Amino acid sequence: MSRLLCVLIFLFFCSATLVGQTRGSSTAPVSDTLIARAHEWVDTWNYKDVERMRQLHADDVSIQRYGIGDEFITIEKLLKEIREQNFWKLSWSIKIVQPHVRMLGADAALVAFRLQGKETHSDGRSRIYSAAYSLVFQRYRSEWKIVHVHSGSNPIAGP
């Protein structure tokens, strides 16, 4: 009887330990989802997909300001200018490098990364583009939306 009791206690202890260890790993799929969402945000710039860019942002941030060059404009104004001016006669071929996810709670997270690639003007001139970025996400009804974008103020030459 004591052997059976020892086995039961051992099994209970092992299963409780395994549950405790795997509980933290439940953030791995969330991290993957957030990194995929950040890649999707970058793709909206590469493919000039203004409508998808708007969908990636939370509805209540339409008056939030983006820092573009030396000025700050609202997301709605940015999207309008992108639509009307064809991305300021620029195109990008950029990608995310070294993404890191930090969970800020159950429904909030920050994804920090570098963007690297090339920015090309309509006249054919191009330059290497490399800058630090972070996106703050909040979960709304099981969907992760961007609530804040931060970029390094001066893009630097890449490798």
**pLDDT value of residue 27:** 54
**pLDDT value of residue 97:** 94
Who's near 95: CB < 8 A, 6+ residues apart? Answer: 42, 115, 116, 117
Residue 20's SS3 state is helix
Q: Which two tokens stand for residue 96?
A: 């995310």
Confidence of residue 14 (pLDDT cuts 50, 70, 90): very low
**pLDDT value of residue 47:** 87
Cβ of 144: how many Cβ atoms within 10 Å? 22
Lowest-pLDDT choice from 2-6, 50-54, 56-60, 83-87: 2-6
**pLDDT value of residue 18:** 36
Lowest-pLDDT choice from 60-64, 87-91, 131-135, 144-148: 87-91
Domains, the chain, ordered by start: 27-151 (3.10.450.50)
Residue 2 has pLDDT above 50, yes or no: yes
Q: Which two tokens stand for residue 150?
A: 């931060």
Going by the DSSP 8-state scheme, the letter that residue 64 receives in this structure is P
Residue 26 has pLDDT above 90, yes or no: no
Higher pLDDT, 6 or 114: 114
Interior angle at CA 155, CA 80 and CA 89, nearest 5: 35
CA distance 129 to 88: 16
Q: For 98-155, what is each residue's pLDDT tens digit? A: 999 999 999 999 999 999 999 888 899 998 988 899 999 999 988 999 998 888 755 5
Residue 4 has pLDDT above 50, yes or no: no
